[in-house]
Amino acid sequence: MKQNTRSSWRKVETVLDADIRDGRLEAGQRLPPEPKLMERFGVGRHSVRRAVAELEARGLLRVQQGSGTFVRDAGMLDYRLSERTRFSQNLLDQGREPSGITLEEEEIVAPPEVAEALRLAPGELVYRSLRLGLADEVPVNISNAYYPVRRFPGILEARRGRRSLGAILGAYGVGDYVRLRSAITTRLPTAEEARHLDQPRTQPVLVVRKVDADLDGIPVTCSESVWAGERVQLSVDNAPPRPRRDAAPRAEGAEPHPAAAQDAAGARPGTVAADAAPQAGTAGNAAGRRRGTAGEEAGRRPGAPQDNRR
């Protein structure tokens, strides 16, 4: 006989939670259909659905419309922020396969905060690229990045390929680039961000605003990245950087771009106070805990409220 008490869905939640944590239900495994769960626990459809909704809100399950309910992968990506932060290499070092999907791209007048971060004159044009970053085909971040049009004409087309950002910038004469600033905050995702990251809106996200520059200190890109808090932790790497002044002027295999001759034609000369070696620590995970912070000038926003690589 089916239970009709208010605690019936709690029983389902508790048992499924234990099954997941003890490995009886493995990451990626599909849950039995509702009728089977109703039969197993002796409860009604409402209790099963309430239990599944609670486990989804806690980040243990994901409901895929038309396919079923699956156990989320509990593997945490340890994304390291350092002077030379590279999305692809970060993932490859951990045995993950990096990939990305372009969601939006456009050429616009630089918003004031972007012009300030990139040291552009008012009215200058920038490319905006909104991309979804994946690790082993699982969404981990949404990045909103900006590039000066005058210095990097046609870079959006290059970003559509599979080459790394370092190789693409190398074709424009940027042999190497470093992180000037990183600012980390947490918040709840927007509905669109939650949809792209395939996570509940009740799960916090980690937001990283950053500025990268060439070795002369001239900014080349700024961005804001929104990371899935339940799948990613951000670690600040305080190790001393390896000298790269003798690096090849272009990334290996990169063809020089006609705009390289202009060097930094569109950027105004000057020096940026770099935050290349931030305080060591680890910044937050799904619970929104911030065990360390990176970057000064947290109030300066190098990108519009969403970002890239990183």
* Domains of the chain by residue range: 8-71, 77-283
Q: What is the pLDDT of residues 59-79, one digit of tens each?
A: 688 888 788 999 877 578 889
Please provide the CATH number assigned to the domain covering 77-283. Answer: 3.40.1410.10
Q: What is the pLDDT of residues 28-57, one digit of tens each?
A: 899 999 999 999 999 999 999 999 988 887
| 244-260 residues labelled b (16+ CB within 10 A) or e (exposed) | eeeeeebbeebeebebb
Instruction: Give Dmax (Cα) for the chain.
Output: 79
Q: Measuring CA to CA, which residue among 186, 199, 188, 191 is closest to residue 234?
A: 186
Instruction: In whole angstroms, give the CA distance from residue 4 to residue 46.
Output: 10
**Where are any strands of DSSP class E within the chain?**
61-64, 68-71, 77-81, 98-109, 125-135, 138-148, 177-187, 205-214, 219-228, 232-236, 281-283
pLDDT of residue 283 exceeding 60:
no
Higher-pLDDT residue of 130 and 198 is 130
- In single-letter form, the type of residue at position 235 comes to S
* Cβ within 8 Å of residue 47, ≥6 positions away: 3, 8, 9, 12, 41
Helix, strand or coil, per DSSP, at residue 51: helix
pLDDT of residue 147: 98
* Cβ within 8 Å of residue 270, ≥6 positions away: 119, 217, 218
pLDDT of residue 212 exceeding 90:
yes
Instruction: In whole angstroms, give the CA distance from residue 124 to residue 15.
Output: 58
The stretch 234-253 carries a mean pLDDT of: 57
Q: Do domains 8-71 and 77-283 have the same CATH topology?
A: no
pLDDT of residue 252 exceeding 50:
no
Q: Return the CATH number of 8-71, one of 3.30.2320.80, 1.10.630.10, 3.20.20.70, 1.10.10.10.
A: 1.10.10.10
